[in-house]
Amino acid sequence: MKAHVRRTSSVLFENVRIFDGKATALSMPSHILVRGNKIVRVSLSPIEVENRVGAMVIDGAGRTLMPGLIDAHAHMLMESIPLGAAMTSEVGYLHLVAGQAAEKQLLRGFTTVRDVGGPSFALKRAIDEELLPGPRIYPSGAMISQTSGHGDFRLANEHPLDLCCAPLSFPEQAGVAAIADGVPQVLLRVRENLKKGASQIKVMAGGGVTSNYDTLDVSQYTFEEMKAAVDAAESWGTYVAVHAYTPKAVQMAIQAGVKCIEHGNMVDEDTVRFMAEKGVWWCLQPFLDDEDAIPFPEDSENRRKQLTMTCGTATAYEWAKKYKIKTAFGTDTLFDAKLATRQGAQLAKLVRWYSPAEVLKMATSDNAELLAMCGERNPYPGRLGVIEEGALADLLLVDGDPIANIKLIEDPEKNFLVIMKDGKLFKNIVS
């Protein structure tokens, strides 16, 4: 299905039940008026529109109106392209694939994403200028990695000794990753991303599953290097998020001032207590050994690392709840267009640990709170993730009650009857 943009002076949703992004239950039948890109009125009584010229009225017939979904851990340029193609194709091809994938993501009901690694600046600009449909993007720019770190995608023979004159590898040229060793280089790479318009910075603090030179147990960057990244980001009023799985990597990053941990599936309980004490965000993904796992050859080291990491997922969510950690939802889908279609299904999996209302809250108002941490670097000032007067109009009309049946979000083509982003209708199949 293709997105078809419809612009009107105002849109009136009548007879809808509201999940406002924060409440634990649906409201009484209500009426919502959108004018421009904002919600201007929420009322239990019918709303009279003074000027109906160009206005559209959508009768919700008691269906659920909820905020657009937010994916807080996305990689727009690497979501739907195979790894081999991503590492060998011209960068223009990566952007063309990503443009098509962005439209599909919007039509899955994800109206906003936080891109935590990759050259998504041009894609963001094209979407913002309405050259193509897609979600709002909070970009991080190139993932900052040490040599042999989780962002080092170079071949084993691409380690020249003459570093000052060595050509950049393709992932570096494309802006996927930035190799930085030592405080001066870390400062340089952070500032380069901020110059390009990064809303937050992503640093690799520990070993990863998809990388080839680091085991999961290693911690990456020294305290001084990590602190340099934090200081450079904070001088621009924003924050650093880090890829990390283990207690050592997570604790060092927090001590250096990092505000958000991505993954953390292998932490221990003492580390979770430390996260709670410092008020750090935890962007967790429901990584399990199931149909949504990134496929690797069974006898590969990547697969062995994946199995080790997924063993900690259930406990991580249990501790996140126990210690009331500020928890965000993200998918971290990589290199597989089929897996990308499972975005809503991955969110629905969280009912193993949370109520459906808590799941929806995490993917709307909670994720929006995390996005707002970028302060003055926020490319979309305004309230996201809620249905309130004055909030930005990112809305989904669901054919049913997702609190009673969370599986509705697994089939957005069928169950999301209206998709609105920034006050514009990208889908409307209400008869």
pLDDT in tens, 111-120: 999 999 999 9
Model pLDDT, residue 26: 84
Model pLDDT, residue 164: 58
pLDDT per position as a tens digit, 269-278: 999 999 999 9
**Is residue 339 within 8 Å of residue 279, measured between CB atoms?**
no
What would the mean pLDDT of 359-378 be, rounded to a whole number?
98
Collapsed DSSP state (helix, strand, coil) of residue 340: helix
d(CA 393, CA 379): 16
Model pLDDT, residue 87: 81
Model pLDDT, residue 152: 82
Does 30 or 52 have the greater pLDDT score? 30
Tell me how many degrees the CA angle 271-279-182 measures, rounded to the nearest 5. 70
Query: pTM of the full predicted structure?
Result: 0.95
- pLDDT surpassing 70 at residue 2: yes
Hey, what domains does the chain have and what are their CATH numbers? 10-67+383-428 (2.30.40.10), 69-353 (3.20.20.140)
39 pLDDT tier (thresholds 50, 70, 90):
very high
What would the mean pLDDT of 378-394 be, rounded to a whole number?
97
Total residue length of the chain = 431
d(CA 270, CA 325): 13
Model pLDDT, residue 51: 65
**In this predicted structure, which of 186-190, 209-213, 317-321 has the lowest mean pLDDT?**
209-213
Q: Is 334 left (phi over 0), alpha (psi -120 to 50) or beta?
A: beta
Other CB atoms within 10 Å distance of the CB of residue 81: 21
Model pLDDT, residue 210: 82
